[in-house]
Amino acid sequence: MINAGTHGAVTWVDLSTPDAPAAVEFYRVLLGWSDVEESDTPMGRYYIGKAKERRVGGLMGQGPELAGTPAMWTTFVYVDDIDETVGKVVDAGGAVLQEPFEVPGDARVAVIADPTGAMLGLFAGPEIEGEYFSRDVGGVNWVELLTRDPSAAEGFYADLFGWKTETEQMEGTAYTTFKLDGEMVAGMMMMPDAVPAAAPSHWGAYFTVADCEAAEKKTLELGGQVLRGTMAMDMGKFAVLADPQGATFNIMEYAG
C-alpha cells in the first residue's frame, strides 16, 4: 500500500456523532481497540481509537450547530496543498462544504463533495510516514465509494488526486479500484439496488474483525444494527453495520 503522506492517499477516518462517549465504548468493545486516546481541542474533546498501539480513527461529538445531523464516518485524503486542491473542486464538478481550517497538530482540513454527492475530507499537514490501512483486528483495511454515477466520480478523483482506475467483475458485480502510482488506494462500486433511493452516494470504511458473524452478534448486543448480514467472497467475509447512533460502517474478516 502507498504511504499515507502521499498526495492522494487515504490517511484517516473520523466519526461525527451526537454521543461520542457512547460511540467510543461501542467501537472499543466491538473492534477490540487496545486503547483510546483523549484530548481537548478548540472544537471539543477528541478521541482516537488504537489497535495494537496503531492509531485507527478519530471520534468527536457534534456541536450545537450540527444538532440533528446524522452520525457518520468521514474518509480523509492527504493532499500536498489544500488550498490548491480545494480550488479545483468546483471546476471538477464537486462542491466545497467546508473551506480549509486549522486543527491541532499544525494541520489543515477541508470537507468537499464529489459530483455524485459523496462527502470526503481533505487533510494537509506534517509529513506522515507509513501506511494507513491495516489488517490488524480493529484497524481500517479499506475505504469504498458507493455511487449512482461511477463515471462522474472517476473523472472527479482523477482531476483532484491523479487516481487511475481498474474495473473488474467481482462476485458478479463491476468493481472499480482507484490506484495511485500503481498502488491501490480505494474502491468504488454502483450503489446496490437494495439501498433506498433516498440514500446519497457515500464513502464507507472497512474495519478488520476476527469473526464476522460474532461481530454481528456483538453489534446487536451493544445496541447497533446489522444492515446487511455476513456475505462471503474470495478474500473473506464482510457485513454492513450501524452503531447505536446510526453511523454506518463495514467489517471484514480476511480468509486464511
- The verdict on 208 and 238 lying in the same domain is yes
pLDDT at 59: 97
In a domain, 4, yes or no: no
Q: Could you tell me which residues are beta bridge partners of residue 98? A: 111
In a domain, 129, yes or no: no
In a domain, 119, yes or no: yes
Residues with Cβ within 8 Å of residue 193, at least 6 apart in sequence: none
- The verdict on 30 and 95 lying in the same domain is yes
- The verdict on 192 and 117 lying in the same domain is no
pLDDT at 223: 98
- Which of residues 70, 100, 124 is at a domain's end? 124
pLDDT at 207: 98
Long-range CB contacts (within 8 A, 24+) of 227-230: 228/194
- The verdict on 117 and 186 lying in the same domain is no
In a domain, 1, yes or no: no
- The verdict on 14 and 80 lying in the same domain is yes
In a domain, 64, yes or no: yes
Q: Could you tell me which residues are beta bridge partners of residue 45? A: 40
- The verdict on 246 and 149 lying in the same domain is yes
- The verdict on 160 and 112 lying in the same domain is no
**Does the pTM exceed 0.85?**
yes
Q: Could you tell me which residues are beta bridge partners of residue 146? A: 189, 202
- The verdict on 81 and 171 lying in the same domain is no
In a domain, 250, yes or no: yes
pLDDT at 206: 98
- The verdict on 146 and 234 lying in the same domain is yes
Any idea how long the chain is?
A: 256
Residue 138 burial class via C-beta count within 10 angstroms: exposed 0-12, middle 13-18, buried 19 and up: buried
Print the domain residue range for 78: 10-124
The tally of domains found in the chain comes to: 2
The segments of the chain whose pLDDT lies below 50 read none
CATH code, 80: 3.10.180.10
The predicted-structure confidence for 165-183, as pLDDT tens digits, reads as follows: 999 987 778 899 999 999 9
User: Among residues 199, 195, 204, which one has the least CA distance to residue 10?
Assistant: 204
Integer Cα distance of 16 and 28 in angstroms: 16
- The verdict on 147 and 232 lying in the same domain is yes
Structure letter (DSSP) for residue 192 = P
First to last CA, the chain: 20
- The verdict on 97 and 161 lying in the same domain is no
